[in-house]
């Protein structure tokens, strides 16, 4: 049987952990990485775990090479790594860590994934951005801006793949609020269970969709969120 191999980056909790379980359940070979590798061994014992800190630039290349050497090929990479903090007081140290993880390291990983698939001749790279990237957010300026960066970057990568290699697919996954450690703040609404979000993401990946907004309810809200004029948005 042709066992498909998926690399889940950011697999120690939340959506990445959910996707790892889902693909293990389908019989995929799952390679899972994050800083908390012990969580991966504990919760995903059938996955091949690697400790990885994307912001440790001295170690990153060695770890990525080690992952590649551990398998004959990788069919799908799902990048679930991200951090998000509300920052209403504009604390620059909080901003710096979000820029490092969500912009600098995101760029390094995405470039690496594309080049790996180019060398391999095929592959699907799916990365989680967010609906938050569609508008500025008064209490989460840098988080929203970092997600806008990811959305724009992934569109560029799709354009590049369409021109250069028709066997490379790029998906931009945009969740609404999901019930993970990341969802913070008072009065959150429509917080979606991880299992439901995981199923819809996997379905979108299977269909090779370029943009996967989850869930269906959040797709409608994302559309309204994007279109609402500033004179109304600024009153919210
Ligand atoms: N939850 C939501 O409402 C929501 C909505 C829209 C978009 N998103 C996006 O969805 C993605 C997944 O978030 P989540 O909700 O599943 O939250 P989560 O449970 O906090 O997952 C984040 C994952 O990223 C990993 N990570 C963070 N920094 C890392 C680093 N320096 N090196 C390696 N791995 C690192 C974490 O693992 P370690 O800490 O073990 O390293 C963890 O596995 C994020 O990009 C987030 O922005 C979430």
Q: What is the pLDDT along the chain (236 residues), one digit of tens a residue?
A: 466 999 999 999 999 999 999 999 999 999 999 999 999 999 999 999 999 999 999 999 999 999 999 999 999 999 999 999 999 999 999 999 999 999 999 999 999 999 999 999 999 999 999 999 999 999 999 999 999 999 999 999 999 999 998 899 999 999 999 999 988 666 678 899 999 999 999 999 999 999 999 999 999 999 998 899 999 999 98
Distance (Å, whole) CA 4 – CA 10: 19
Q: How far is residue 228's CA from residue 179's CA, in Å, rounded to a whole number?
A: 26
Structural domains in the chain, CATH included, are: 5-233 (3.40.50.720)
For atom 34 of ligand 1, the residue with the nearest CA is: 34
Pocket test for ligand 1, best of 180, 183, 188, 200 (most atoms within 8 A of CB): 180
Pull the structure tokens for residue 204: 């979108």
How far is it, in rounded angstroms, from Cα 229 to Cα 61?
Answer: 44
Six-digit token string for 229: 């004029």
CA distance 123 to 218: 28
**Distance from residue 164's CA to the centre of ligand 1 (Å):** 30
* Closest atom of ligand 1 relative to the 84 alpha carbon: 47
The pLDDT value recorded for residue 189 is 81
- What is the whole-number distance in angstroms between the Cα of residue 1 and the centre of ligand 1? 33
Count other C-beta atoms under 10 Å from residue 18's C-beta. Answer: 24
User: Quick one: pLDDT at residue 185?
Assistant: 63
Query: Rounded to whole angstroms, how far apart are CA atoms 65 and 161?
Result: 23
Nearest to 76 by CA among 206, 215, 212: 206
With DSSP H G I counted as helix, E B as strand and the rest as coil, what are the percentages for the chain, rounded to 5?
Answer: 50, 15, 35
Cis peptide before 215 (omega within 30 of 0): yes
132: tokens are: 């938050």
Helix locations, 26-140, DSSP H: 37-43, 57-69, 92-99, 106-120
Tokens of 124: 């699907």
Rounded distance from Cα 9 to ligand 1 centre (Å): 9
Nearest atom, ligand 1, residue 37 CA: 40
The pLDDT, as a whole number, for residue 51 is 98
- Specify the pLDDT at position 184: 64
**Structure token pair of residue 222:** 């994302």
**Distance, CA of 68 to CA of 16 (rounded, Å):** 19
Residue 192's region, left for phi above 0, alpha for psi from -120 to 50, else beta, is beta
pTM, rounded to two decimals: 0.97
């Amino acid at each position: 049987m042709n066992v498909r191999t998926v690399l889940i980056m950011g697999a120690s909790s939340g959506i990445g952990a959910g996707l790892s379980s889902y693909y293990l359940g389908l019989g995929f070979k799952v390679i899972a990485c994050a800083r908390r590798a012990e969580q991966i061994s504990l919760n995903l014992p059938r996955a091949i775990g690697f400790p990885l800190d994307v912001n440790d630039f001295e170690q990153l290349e060695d770890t990525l090479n080690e992952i590649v050497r551990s398998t004959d090929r990788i069919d799908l990479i799902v990048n679930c790594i991200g951090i998000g903090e509300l920052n209403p007081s504009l604390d620059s140290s909080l901003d710096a860590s979000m820029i490092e993880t969500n912009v600098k390291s995101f760029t390094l990983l995405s470039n690496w994934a594309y080049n790996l698939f180019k060398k391999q001749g095929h592959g699907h790279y799916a990365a989680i951005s967010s609906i938050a990237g569609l508008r500025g957010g008064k209490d989460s300026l840098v988080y929203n801006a970092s997600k806008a960066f990811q959305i724009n970057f992934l569109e560029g990568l799709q354009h590049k793949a369409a021109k250069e290699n028709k066997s490379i697919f790029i998906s931009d996954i945009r969740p609404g609020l999901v019930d993970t450690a990341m969802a913070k703040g008072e009065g959150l609404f429509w917080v979606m269970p991880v299992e439901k979000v995981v199923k819809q993401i996997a379905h979108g990946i299977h269909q090779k969709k370029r943009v996967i907004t989850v869930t269906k309810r959040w797709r409608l809200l994302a559309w309204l969120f994007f279109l609402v004029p500033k004179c109304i948005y600024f009153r919210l």
